[in-house]
Amino acid sequence: MSTKINVAPHAALSLLKRDLSLSLTRGGGPLLAVGFYLTLMAMIPLSLGSDSTTLSRVAPGLTWLSLALASLLSLERLFERDYEDGLFDILRLGPLPMEVIALLKCLAQWLGTGLMLAVLTPFVMIILGAPVDAAFISLIGAILGSLSFAIIGGIGASLSLGTRKGGVLIALLVLPFYVPPVIFGAGLMQAYLTGAPITQALSLLCAYALFALALGPIAMGAALKSALS
């Protein structure tokens, strides 16, 4: 057993590094999601009109909605490429259990894409008319939210592995579970802007991210094992 514990950090680190560099380069990388996010946000004033009171009222909610949709974009290729290339055959013969492999792949995807969307969120919200002092709290919220989106999305991606054109299927599977962070996240902003206490929404957002971190790997591990057998 002692050898296993010594070996695993190397393996985990190398897998994280590999997947991070892949998520930054392949298929347009984070540019695709970032471009989608910004375009969607640019369309909001065009569709709702440029009245700043309306915009600043709906800004937090719409930002969260767009964040959820942009997080969906890169899910399809989260496991699919490595599955087709046969890389999982190597990964399974290494020291990491499938649950850890899946979690690391989600985290790499999150660091490459989700985190970038989270960093953009305060800017987008402010451009739409939210007050500047809400930037920090919206960044914290978006980081927690995008982490939940990445891991819940990973569950959907692992379940649809091996089905051709699984993208739409993933969206259908995953979107219902994106609802809680959207509610808590938009609620957090609403509470902050109206001066109500923010601890409740913030702790629910944290709780959901922790829930995803705890249960996601187990679900992904089981789904991947069955897809790969």
Over the window 71 to 110, marking each residue x when it contacts other proteins by CB under 8 A and - when it does not, the resulting string is: ----------xx-xxxx-xxxxxxx---------------
In 10 A of CB 32, how many CB atoms?
14
**Number of H-type helices and E-type strands within the chain:** 10, 0
Count CA within 13 A, CB hemisphere, residue 24: 11
Per rule CB under 8 A, is residue 15 in the interface with other proteins? yes
Tell me how far, at minimum, the Cβ of 226 lies from other proteins, in Å.
9
Tell me how far, at minimum, the Cβ of 147 lies from other proteins, in Å.
25
- As to burial, measured by CB atoms within 10 angstroms (0-12 exposed, 13-18 middle, 19+ buried), residue 140 is middle
Q: Enumerate residues 6+ apart whose C-beta is below 8 A from 1.
A: none
In whole angstroms, give the CA distance from residue 124 to residue 131: 11
Per rule CB under 8 A, is residue 26 in the interface with other proteins? yes
Q: Which is nearer to other proteins, 8 or 126 (CB)?
A: 8
Q: Which is nearer to other proteins, 99 or 206 (CB)?
A: 99
Residues that bind other proteins in the complex, under the rule CB under 8 A: 4, 7, 10-11, 13-15, 17-18, 21-22, 25-26, 81-82, 84-87, 89-95, 228-229
